[in-house]
Chain A
C-alpha cells in the first residue's frame, strides 16, 4: 500500500481519523480545555504531532490551528518532527548536574553522533534533555523510553545503548 501512497515518501503516518474522533469525544469530551492532554494522547500514538492530525483536531474542537501550534510549541513535551524509535531523556536537573550529567550528555552525543534534541540518522534514538524526573538520589539519571537508569557512569552508557539498538534491530528485521 505504501508504494502507491505518495504521502509515504515523506514518512507522514496515515492518520486514523475514526480513532482520533473516538479519542477526542470519548476520552476528552470534545472539550477545548483538554487540548494539552489531547495532544499528549496524539503524540503517544504517533510519537510526534503530525500536522494532518492537528488540522483535523482544529476543525473538530474549533480551535484555530495557529493556537494549537502555539500550545504545541510552548510546551517542551511536544514535538512537531518525527522522533526516534527510542527516546533517550537525560536528566539535567540540579542534582544530576552537580553529579556530572553534563559529561554523560557529552558522552551520549559522541557515541550517537547527535546533538541534544536530535534524532540519529537511522531513526533509532532521539536524544532529549529533561529537567528533573525526581530521581535525584540516583543522579546522574538517564531515562530510555520508560526505563530509568541511575548512577550512570560514562562507562555504563555504551552497554545500555547497545541493548536498545540491538533489540530494536531484531524486532525490525
Chain B
C-alpha cells in the first residue's frame, strides 16, 4: 500500500495501536539492541521462543533498548487489561519462570525493575493512556518514578524500547511520519526552517551549531543539494546514536525527509560506522519499508517531492566524524578533512551544497514540528534548548542512556540517575565530549550541563559521552589514553596535529614510566597550545583538551608522577606496588587463590604476604579483597 495522505497513515497507526498497546496475547518485548544482545538478550529471546513460541496466547517480540543497560537483558511483559512489567537481568535461565509467573498473575517482585504506567510517547498525547483505569500491582515500583527514569524526558529516545524497530507500522502508531506528511501537505519549506530555528535546536553531534541556521544556509545555495546523516559515532564511550539507529531507525529517516523538504534536496545519505552492523541492518529494513509505503522514492506520498536514501558504511576512522572528512569518505576517498573557508552547506559532498546533521539531531526534528518550537524551547537553558541524551558509563552504578533537559546538573545525572559510584569508592572526575573533551572534577558537580557551561570549565558537550571516573582512575593515564587514541586517529596531513600529538604523547609516556622531568607539565601546556591553535580541523584543535583539563584540575597527580615517582591511583605500573596490610588482612585466602602468579602466600586466618619479585601488578588481589587489605604504595 502507498500512503497518499495523513489519513492513510492515521488508519495504519490506529490499527497498529491495538496490537501494540492492548494485545489479546501476552506480549513479551525483549530489548535486542547490541548492548542487550551482548548481555544475553539473544539467548533469552531464543529460549522464550523455544518454550513459548507455539503457545497461541503468547507473542514474543524484539524491541530496541530502554536505556537501563546495566540491568540488561531487559524484558517487558504486558497484555490487554494487564500490567506492563519490565524485568531486569532476564537471562535465559530465568525467562521461563518470569513468563510463567506473569501468566499466573504471580509477578516476580525481585526480578521486576518496575511497572510502566504510561507507555505513550510524547507525540501521542491526543490518545488515551492504554493503562488508564488499571490499578498498579502492589509492591512493584512505578517505572516512571524510579530514580533512573524519574527525571528523564524522552524526545530523541521516544520510541527506543517501545516498538519493534523493524515494523514501520509501530512507528506510525506512535505518531511517526505525521510531522513529515503535515509538512509535505503544507508545502512551506521556509516555515519548517523557521520552526527549527525558533526551537533553538543545536547540533547534537558535538559542534552545537544551530540546526535551523544550517538548513537555511544550505537552502540558500544553488545546485543539487544533499542531506547527510552523520552516524559515524566515533567518540569512545558514546552510544546514543547506535541506540536510536537500532531502536528507532524511522525517526532518522523522517528527520532527514523533513530536512530534504526544507532545504530542497532529493537525496539523502546515512554514513554509518562499520562497527555497528545491527544498525546498518535495521536501517536497510527501515528504508525498504518506507519505500514500500511510498514515503521514500519518486513522488513521495503522491506529491511532487522525491527523496532517495542510501546507506554508506565507514571503515574505522574516527576523523570521518568531521564533516569534510565524512564527505570525502562518502565519495570513496581517504577521509581527510579540508579547511572550511568554504562551508559544506555551499560546497560539500560532490562539491555541492550539503546539509550534515547527526543522528540525534534528526531524531529531534519530527517532535519539534509536531509539538511546536515553543514547546521545545521551553525545555533547557538560555543557550541550549531541549534535551540531550547522555551515555552514562565508566565507574557508575547505573550505566545506561539517559535523556534529560539541558541544564540538568552533573550531580543529578551522576548521583540521582546514575546511582553514584559503585563499591563505595570516591568520585574523581567525569569526562565529557570524548577525546575532544575534558575531565571535570567534583567541585563543578553542580554545573548545569549545557553547551556553554561545559565550555567554561574547559570541556565540551560533544556527542554526549559521560565517563565517570573514581579514585582508582589515574588522570595522567587518562590523558595519555586519549592522546594515544588521537595519535592513531590523526589523519596526518597537518603538522601541528600529527607531530604535536605525538610529541605530547612521548612526554606523557615518560611521565607514566617514571621518567618525568621538571618542566614537563609546562612543556605539555606549551605544546597543547600550539596543537590547539594551529591544527587544521576540529580533531587537532580539540586534541589537547583532555591533557590541559587534567593538568588544570589534577596537577598534583602529575607532580606525584614526576617528582615522587608515584602513581597515587595505582595504574601506572612502574610507579607503584601492592602491599598487604597485615592489620586489615583476615587471612581469608581469596587473594592467594586468585593470584595468577602464586605470589601471595599465608596460612588461613593469618595475614598473608606478597612476594614482590613474583608480582606482575595485575590488580586481581586488589579487586577481589573485601577488607581493603591490599594497599597501593
Contacts and interface: CB of A to CB of B under 8 A. Distances in A.
Interface in B544-591: none
Interface stretch (B77-85, B195-203, B236-244): B236-244
B415 interface: no
A39 B234 contact: no
Contacts of A70: 334
B332 interface: yes
B235 interface: yes
Interface string A63-98: 000000011001111100000000000001111111
Interface core residue of B315, B395, B485, B619 (most chain A CB under 10 Å): B315
A164 interface: no
Interface core residue of B70, B316, B318 (most chain A CB under 10 Å): B316
B332 A34 contact: yes
Interface stretch (B34-42, B451-459, B531-539): B34-42
Interface in A136-170: 136-139, 141, 146, 148-150, 154-155
Contact of B333 (A71, A106, A135, A139): A71
Interface string A41-63: 00000000000000000000000
Interface residues of A, number: 44
Nearest to A33: B332
Contacts of B234: 131-132
Contact of A93 (B38, B237, B329): B237
B274 A40 contact: yes
B172 interface: no
B276 interface: yes
Contacts of B70: 137
A141 B333 CA distance: 31
Interface of B: 34-35, 37-39, 69-70, 72, 233-239, 242-243, 274-277, 312-318, 329-335, 391, 393-395, 399-400, 431, 434, 465, 467, 469, 473, 478, 481-482, 485, 488-489, 491, 594, 596, 618-620
Contacts of A150: 38-39
A154 B38 contact: no
A137 B316 contact: no
Contact of B335 (A40, A74, A138): A74
Contacts of B276: 133-134
A141 B38 contact: yes
Q: Which 3 A-B pairs have the closest CB atoms?
A: A137-B69, A93-B236, A75-B315
B391 A136 contact: yes
Contacts of A130: 275, 316
Given A33-B330, A137-B399, A95 B316 contact: no
A35 interface: yes
Contacts of A103: 618-619
Contacts of A106: 618
A29 to B, nearest CB: 11
A134 B478 contact: no
A98 B395 contact: yes
Nearest to B276: A134
B478 A98 contact: yes
A102 B457 CA distance: 29
A136 B431 CA distance: 14
Given A71-B333, A95-B394, A100 B619 contact: yes
A37 interface: yes
Given A37-B312, A136-B239, 8 more contacts: A34-B332, A106-B618, A107-B618, A132-B239, A134-B242, A135-B35, A135-B38, A139-B393
A155 to B, nearest CB: 8
A36 interface: yes
A150 B312 CA distance: 28
B315 A95 contact: no
Interface core residue of B38, B431, B619 (most chain A CB under 10 Å): B38
A75 B38 contact: no
A95 to B, nearest CB: 4
A119 B482 CA distance: 26
Contact of A40 (B39, B69, B315): B315
A76 B242 contact: no
Interface core residue of B239, B395, B473 (most chain A CB under 10 Å): B239
A5 to B, nearest CB: 31
A34 B315 CA distance: 12
Nearest to A107: B618
Contact of B313 (A36, A99, A100, A107): A36
Given A33-B332, A136-B399, A148-B38, A131 B391 contact: no
A78 B318 contact: no
Nearest to B246: A134
B394 A99 contact: yes
B534 to A, nearest CB: 23
Interface core residue of B34, B35, B317 (most chain A CB under 10 Å): B35
Interface core residue of A34, A36, A78, A148 (most chain B CB under 10 Å): A36
A71 B465 contact: no
Contacts of B594: 155
Nearest to A132: B236
B237 A35 contact: no
Interface in A6-46: 32-37, 39-40
Given A132-B237, A138-B69, A39 B38 contact: no
A33 B237 contact: no
Given A98-B467, A132-B239, A137-B69, A71 B332 contact: yes
Contacts of B394: 94-95, 98-99, 136
A135 B37 CA distance: 10
A94 B485 CA distance: 10
A139 to B, nearest CB: 7
Given A132-B234, A136-B399, A137-B69, A76 B332 contact: no
B238 to A, nearest CB: 8
Contacts of B485: 92, 131
26 contacts: A35-B333, A39-B315, A40-B313, A75-B315, A75-B316, A93-B236, A94-B465, A95-B237, A95-B393, A95-B467, A98-B469, A130-B275, A131-B234, A132-B235, A134-B276, A135-B35, A135-B38, A135-B239, A136-B35, A136-B238, A137-B69, A138-B72, A139-B393, A146-B277, A150-B38, A155-B594
A37 B274 CA distance: 10
A94 B313 contact: no
A36 B314 contact: yes
A70 B317 CA distance: 13
A96 B243 CA distance: 18
Contacts of B399: 95, 136-137
B34 A134 contact: yes
Given A98-B395, A133-B34, A137-B69, A77 B332 contact: no
